[in-house]
């Protein structure tokens, strides 16, 4: 639900908006450059400035123009997006207004000026690169650190220096897909896995 009270639903066929009376559907069209950049919606996020952001599977990031009711794709020509079929799976906004995007190519940052950078690797673990990870879910904890759930486990990113640390779970198997990370009101982090239950 956005600040105007509208409900937004992401589906495998596009985006739907409900105003309490009727649905309006937004879909991808090959003939319309101002339509959604893909068919399957992965995440919907409204930032603190009221921008509606839509992350697509293999379609990058869309920004909805509320007045014209069209979608812009401001980063489609950026090297970190272009020709990579980037899927934006989750979006988190930090206290500074920077957007953190969980993608199939790691984590991308978009600052308030629109500059895009990638969280690459940590100095403490040589060869550990988030750019190779499918990041499904992101969650800031109460200390401001970012928890990233991937297809191979959990990583913690320190936004101050972009260092990355793996976080070990007591799994029956060595690796598992992380499907949910939730911060509860008491500050505890809940982690939902594909085949090992919840922690």
Which tens digits make up the pLDDT trace of 8-46?
999 999 999 999 999 999 999 999 999 999 999 999 999
> What residues form DSSP beta bridges with 109?
100, 117
pLDDT over 70 percentage in the chain: 95
115-172: per-residue pLDDT in tens? 999 997 655 555 567 888 999 999 999 999 999 999 999 999 999 999 899 999 988 7
Residue 116 CB partners (closer than 8 Å, separation 6+): 75, 78, 80, 81, 108, 109, 110
32-88: per-residue pLDDT in tens? 999 999 999 999 999 999 999 999 999 999 999 999 999 999 999 999 998 778 999
pTM of the model: 0.93
Query: What tokens does 96 get?
Result: 């500074």
- Residue 194: pLDDT above 90? yes
CA distances to 32, 37, 86, 117 from 114, in Å: 24, 19, 17, 10
Query: What sign has the CA pseudo-torsion 118, 121, 127, 133?
Result: negative
């Amino acid at each position: 639900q956005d600040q105007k009270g509208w409900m937004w639903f992401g589906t495998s066929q596009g985006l739907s908006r409900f105003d309490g009376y009727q649905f309006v559907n937004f879909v991808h069209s090959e003939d319309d450059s101002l339509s959604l950049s893909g068919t399957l919606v992965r995440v919907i996020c409204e930032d603190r400035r009221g921008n509606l952001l839509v992350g697509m599977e293999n379609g990058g990031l869309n920004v909805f123009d509320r007045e014209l009711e069209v979608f812009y794709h401001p980063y489609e020509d950026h090297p970190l997006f272009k020709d990579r079929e980037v899927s934006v799976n989750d979006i988190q906004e930090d206290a500074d207004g920077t957007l953190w995007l969980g993608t199939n190519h790691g984590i991308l940052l978009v600052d308030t000026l629109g500059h895009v950078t990638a969280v690459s690797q940590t100095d403490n673990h040589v060869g550990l690169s988030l750019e190779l990870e499918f990041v499904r879910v992101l969650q800031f904890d109460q200390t401001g650190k970012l928890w990233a759930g991937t297809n191979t486990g959990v990583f913690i990113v320190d936004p101050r220096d972009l260092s990355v640390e793996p976080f070990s779970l007591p799994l029956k198997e060595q690796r598992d897909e992380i499907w949910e990370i939730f911060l509860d009101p008491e500050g505890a982090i809940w982690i939902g896995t594909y085949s090992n239950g919840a922690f």
